[in-house]
């Protein structure tokens, strides 16, 4: 019934108009490159491949490679990135259309897209998981800001190379950067070196040649130091900092600043490894052994490996620096892939503090019979007392979070499996301890150092260290750094600075002395990388101490004959890394071998192991350790091959996961290739 004077004919015409508007003819398909290859945000392994879609005419200008889009997939609207535009598709069926271009901003550049694919393949993961790490979530307001305020890149005026003077071969490396070449180097910094300024100077050399530089630091504190150095060398507008700690808005703003080429230098933490730096000429990373570089999300890539892949694929220079040296970087030097930047021994000895081990001589034992057993031997007190006369004293104590496994009852050497080198543990009951890696019982274990058959659980005894020192040195300021209470720097006033490993603040003018306590606790961690990690922590702490010429002294409380401690006394990070690499080779561990850790429900892990065994070439030398039960429902297995067969192993893991995904088998298996911690 019509109302308000509307006739039935008018209502019919109105309904017809609405119906036609709802059934509007879709736009035609563009004639120029009508097919878009899309990386759909789909984490299922069996669907880890690009899919082709048609490009509507009204979206043709915006749907360029790198743009975010919405597509229909399996009955749902999913996000994706345009990888490329094509004239035709190899798919014989009917293609769906791109439903929407979310943003015309080309956030996934071709170089980064290629890198993401390489990282996914190396770590037996899927592309969608890697692109989530590479491209931060979109903020429309920020895109508008950047579009309005884009400015030309300011020229670099600094040409100082002062921090590189101690290294004879550094001049050639920097000269190669000015020629836009791609040198690769492992830099072992001298004690007390200003690594942040050295990185900034290298970036300035690269930027002056018209190319971009990407510099990574392990954590927020080191990033602040790097930012301060870059401000001094490049100016406040000469770089941009990119870190997950910035927050979503600020991080996306920094990301787009780099993407649009407003700056040639990008600095950051692990999150910046995929930063879209224009015309990348240099990637650099400080302290590659820091576990902060290991991504905790699938597929668990390490920032060092991401940058090395990037240097190879984008043909740019690579620089890995640190006071210590990892087995991975030692392998790069041994293979000839990278050169070595290291100072002469005379220069190192002149810059290093005087390093000693408690109870290292008969004189020490005569003066203090308990020098090798006490937590705070008499000589450590003497060194601290003497150091407090001229400045702050650093005291490093292993934190409670280090949970060591079994150690020798007599000499406290870590108890290792004689078959695979894994840490021994007790799982309860009265039976013998077993290996945490291969699960074999160790009923006849004997300490290789002293021959004792007894073992004990290592117990952290550093809870009251600060209180003990406070009572021993009345009237002296005692400050702590670690956990939620991290100090960035301290003055040159006398004080005792008690820290956990990695939380050491920088002292103005350097520390006068350092006490590195409970060294055996770091070595007894249930991790096959424990010796390397301990040495890295000790070198980083000792490098903050003044040179021996200026009275700087370091004392390590531990077993004098232990090779890791001797490496600090000799200040030989390169020698220790070479020995560690050889031991890894003997034990068939990374980087000498390619290994993967599989964790999940027992049945699922066993199924994936079986599939991998079927997929890997019999000549590849595949070895399976485990599965070993972690708890009632979860097991862990390790599969490994020689390094040369690593690509085959990663491919088999991906195909095995894809087959399980296709059949919708229950139980998810976490795959970690070359995990940062392993034990």
Low-confidence residues of the chain: pLDDT under 50: 1-3, 370-371, 373, 400-404, 459-463
Token readout for 385 is: 């007392």
User: 136: burial class by Cβ within 10 Å (0-12, 13-18, 19+)?
Assistant: buried
Q: Contact 2/14 with Cβ under 8 angstroms?
A: no
Helix (H) or strand (E) holding 241: strand 240-242
| pLDDT (0 to 100) of residue 521 | 84
Start-to-end CA distance of the chain, whole Å, equals 81
Tens digit of each residue's pLDDT (9 = 90 or more) over 588-647: 989 999 999 999 999 999 999 999 999 998 888 999 998 999 888 899 999 999 999 999
d(CA 600, CA 582): 32
Tens digit of each residue's pLDDT (9 = 90 or more) over 392-446: 999 998 864 344 467 787 776 778 888 777 778 765 555 678 887 777 788 788 8
| pLDDT (0 to 100) of residue 437 | 74
* Angle ∠(568,570,576) on CA atoms, nearest 5: 65
Q: Contact 211/264 with Cβ under 8 angstroms?
A: yes
d(CA 422, CA 404): 13
Nearest to 160 by CA among 201, 210, 203, 212: 201
Token readout for 67 is: 């743009």
d(CA 440, CA 379): 42
| pLDDT (0 to 100) of residue 379 | 87
Please state whether the peptide bond connecting residue 261 to the residue before it is cis, i.e. omega within 30 degrees of 0.
no
**Exposure b/e, 203-239, CB count within 10 A at least 16 = b:** bbbbbbbebbbbbbbbbebbbebbbebbeebbeeebb
Q: Which residue has the tokens 């300035």?
A: 204
State how beta strands 317-322 and 184-188 pair. parallel
Beta strands in 12-75 (DSSP E): 35-40, 51-54, 68-73
| pLDDT (0 to 100) of residue 627 | 92
Alpha-carbon dihedral 275, 281, 286, 289, rounded to 10 degrees: 80
| pLDDT (0 to 100) of residue 333 | 97
d(CA 569, CA 349): 11
User: 155: burial class by Cβ within 10 Å (0-12, 13-18, 19+)?
Assistant: exposed
d(CA 409, CA 424): 14
State how beta strands 434-435 and 478-481 pair. unpaired
Alpha-carbon dihedral 360, 495, 502, 240, rounded to 10 degrees: -140
Residues 6+ apart with CB under 8 A from 25: none
| pLDDT (0 to 100) of residue 460 | 42
d(CA 129, CA 134): 9
For residue 623, what are the CA distances in angstroms to 121, 173, 637? Answer: 21, 41, 11
d(CA 78, CA 71): 6
| pLDDT (0 to 100) of residue 18 | 56
| pLDDT (0 to 100) of residue 2 | 47
d(CA 639, CA 597): 7
Token readout for 14 is: 């109105």
pTM summary value? 0.86
Helix (H, G, I), strand (E, B) or coil at 337: coil
Nearest to 244 by CA among 273, 204, 278: 273
| pLDDT (0 to 100) of residue 520 | 85
Q: Contact 461/446 with Cβ under 8 angstroms?
A: no
| pLDDT (0 to 100) of residue 679 | 64
Q: Contact 140/57 with Cβ under 8 angstroms?
A: no
For residue 612, what are the CA distances in angstroms to 414, 436, 442, 502, 651? Answer: 33, 22, 29, 38, 9
Helix (H) or strand (E) holding 409: none
d(CA 627, CA 620): 20
Token readout for 429 is: 């009951």
State how beta strands 593-601 and 623-629 pair. unpaired
């Amino acid at each position: 019934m019509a109302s308000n004077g509307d006739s039935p004919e008018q209502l019919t015409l109105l309904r017809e108009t609405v119906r036609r508007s709802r059934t509007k003819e879709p736009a035609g398909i563009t004639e120029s490159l009508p097919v878009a290859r899309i990386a759909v945000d789909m984490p299922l392994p069996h669907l880890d491949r690009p899919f082709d879609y048609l490009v509507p005419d009204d979206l043709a200008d915006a749907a360029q490679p790198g743009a975010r889009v919405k597509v229909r997939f399996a009955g749902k609207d999913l996000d994706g990135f345009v990888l490329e535009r094509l004239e035709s598709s190899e798919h014989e069926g009917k293609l769906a259309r791109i439903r929407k271009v979310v943003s015309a901003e080309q956030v996934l550049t071709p170089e980064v897209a290629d890198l993401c694919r390489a990282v996914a393949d190396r770590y037996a993961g899927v592309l969608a998981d890697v692109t989530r790490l590479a491209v931060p979530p979109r903020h429309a307001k920020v895109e508008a800001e950047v579009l309005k305020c884009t400015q030309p890149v300011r020229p670099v005026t600094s040409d100082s190379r002062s921090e590189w003077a101690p290294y004879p071969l550094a001049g050639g490396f920097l000269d190669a950067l000015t020629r836009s070449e791609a040198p690769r180097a492992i830099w072992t910094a001298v004690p007390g070196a200003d690594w942040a300024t050295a990185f900034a100077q290298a970036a300035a050399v690269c930027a002056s040649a018209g190319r971009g530089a990407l510099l990574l630091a392990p954590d927020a504190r080191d990033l602040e130091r790097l930012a301060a150095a870059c401000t001094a060398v490049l100016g406040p507008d000469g770089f941009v900092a990119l870190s997950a700690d910035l927050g979503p808005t600020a991080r996306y703003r920094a990301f787009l600043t780099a993407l649009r080429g407003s700056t040639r230098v990008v600095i950051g933490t692990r999150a910046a490894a995929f930063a879209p730096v224009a015309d990348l000429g240099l990637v650099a990373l400080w302290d590659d052994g820091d576990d902060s570089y290991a991504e905790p999300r699938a597929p668990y890539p390490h920032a060092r490996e991401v940058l090395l892949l990037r240097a190879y694929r984008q043909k740019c220079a690579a620089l890995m620096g640190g006071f210590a040296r990892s087995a991975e970087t030692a392998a790069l030097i041994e293979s000839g892939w990278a050169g070595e930047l290291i100072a002469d021994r005379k220069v190192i000895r002149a810059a290093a503090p005087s390093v000693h081990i408690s109870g290292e001589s008969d004189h020490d034992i005569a003066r203090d019979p308990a020098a090798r057993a006490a937590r705070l031997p008499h000589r450590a007190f003497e060194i601290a007392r003497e150091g407090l006369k001229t400045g702050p004293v650093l005291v490093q104590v292993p934190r409670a979070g280090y949970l060591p496994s079994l150690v020798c009852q007599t000499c406290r050497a870590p108890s290792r499996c004689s078959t695979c080198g894994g840490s021994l543990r007790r799982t309860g009951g009265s039976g013998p301890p077993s290996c945490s890696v291969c699960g074999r019982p160790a009923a006849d274990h004997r300490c290789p150092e002293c021959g004792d058959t007894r073992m004990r659980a290592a117990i952290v005894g550093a809870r009251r260290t600060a209180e003990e020192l406070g009572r021993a040195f009345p009237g002296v300021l005692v400050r702590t750094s670690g956990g939620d209470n991290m100090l960035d720097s301290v003055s040159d006033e006398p004080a005792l600075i008690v820290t956990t490993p990695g939380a050491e603040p920088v002292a103005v003018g350097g520390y006068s002395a350092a006490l590195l306590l409970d060294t055996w606790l770091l070595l007894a961690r249930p991790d096959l990388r424990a010796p390397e990690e301990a040495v890295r922590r000790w070198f980083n702490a000792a490098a903050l101490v003044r040179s021996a010429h200026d009275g700087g002294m370091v004392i390590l409380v531990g077993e004098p004959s232990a090779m890791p401690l001797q490496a600090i006394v000799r200040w030989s990070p390169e020698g220790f890394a070479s020995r560690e690499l050889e031991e890894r080779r003997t034990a068939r561990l990374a980087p000498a071998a390619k290994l993967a850790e599989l964790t999940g429900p027992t049945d699922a892990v066993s199924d994936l192991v079986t599939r991998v065994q079927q997929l890997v070439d019999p000549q590849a030398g595949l070895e399976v350790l485990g599965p070993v039960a972690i708890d009632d429902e979860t097991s862990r297995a390790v599969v490994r091959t020689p390094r040369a067969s690593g690509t085959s192993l990663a491919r088999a893991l991906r195909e095995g996961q894809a087959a399980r995904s296709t059949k919708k088998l229950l139980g998810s298996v976490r795959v970690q290739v070359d995990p940062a911690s392993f034990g």
